[in-house]
Structure 1
Amino acid sequence: MKPTVEVFIGAPLAGSEARFLSKLHSDLTSEGQCLILANFEVVRNSTSAQIDFVAVTNKRAELLELKCLSGPVFGSENGPWKIEDTSGNLVTYPGKNPWQQAKDDKLIVNDAMHQYRKRFAGAPSPLNGRFFEFDASVCIYPKLHPRSHVTHGNFKAWVRSYSDTLSALRTRPLTSSWSLDDWRRFATQYLRLTPVSLEGAIDPSFNLAQHHTRE
């Protein structure tokens, strides 16, 4: 019998990502069959994206750009974000604008889904147009500080506290042409992710030999 929450990884997780996976896995256990795709790379032409998580329930699929932040966060859809450090100073959040990152990652995954559909007979097309039906979010974990002032985002990508992300996965249906089986085949056949237990996913010493033998 398959576990209620199936996990597929590109590489084992450690630190805050491992803790987040454990929490998400636990919170989705009561939701029936679910999939979590974690810590994998998607290549498009000369660019690539490192995807933190894609969570798939019977109600919706959502790409999660994880940001583990405990203090106030300030940012819009453009330009750098800032966070308030423990001394009360505003400092620039390192790296790319998180909303832009989630939006761009969503497009790259959407393109990968089209490539998968071309290679494997029977993979469904989007219901309308060229965009598959899944959301993307900047997921602030463990929660968005009440003094934060960040964009809510839009249909291209959202900015959500973990609690709101979980609520969306549980209660906000997003009709899609892809079933859980389609996502499972996409994860294993195209992305070449390894199905593992939760313990295997968060163990840095996990042996990926089984993954490499399939390539």
Structure 2
Amino acid sequence: MSFDCFGAGQRVSTTMFPAASWRDGDATARTVFSAFEAVMDLHEMLWHLTRVRTRSHDSDLTDEVDLLCAEISAAVDAGATSVLAVDVTFVRGRVRQVLDTVSAEVRAAYFADGAATDARLVPQADLAGADLRDVWLVGADLRGASLVGADLRRSDLTGCDLLGVDLRGADVRGADLRDALFLTRTQLASASGDRNTRVPVDLEVPPGW
């Protein structure tokens, strides 16, 4: 099981509560953990926003991305009190709208010729264990889908929306993940790849591949 806190643990422990510990008592523990959860959520949003900025050609949209990044960064930089006052659900909704719009823009470019996709390739799809080696996945919207144990060997996932996709045990040997949308370190580490798997330049190849 892999886990990525998006740097929240270090941020909370070293800058927000450098002298505090969850061992100091229940009240302190609740505050520290609440701040950790909020910072982790906000850092994850920043992770996705900074990566989609270069994928959109809509100046209004990139301006909105910049605004959200600035607001989130300012809230985190201001400290624990500021972070705990953030309505994370509201911010997540705003970020989700931006991510949805960028995803639609990017994916549409791959279907300009009206090419049809496999009917199974929909958000929240249960594709656990599915053999997808011969399925056209470029530009597919698989957000929230289960690809647990799916066979993706040598698949091209360019422009494929992988937000929230469960890739545990998925076979991505030889797959091209370089331009997949919203792929995270945790997802990558949970899959099974090899030295022929191509990953985004800002993600490290997991040990053991």
Q: Which has the larger radius of gyration?
A: 2
Q: TM-score, normalised by structure 1?
A: 0.28
Q: Which has the higher contact order (CA 8 A, sep 6+)?
A: 1
Q: TM-score, normalised by structure 2?
A: 0.28
Q: Which has the larger helix fraction?
A: 2
Q: Which has the larger strand fraction?
A: 1
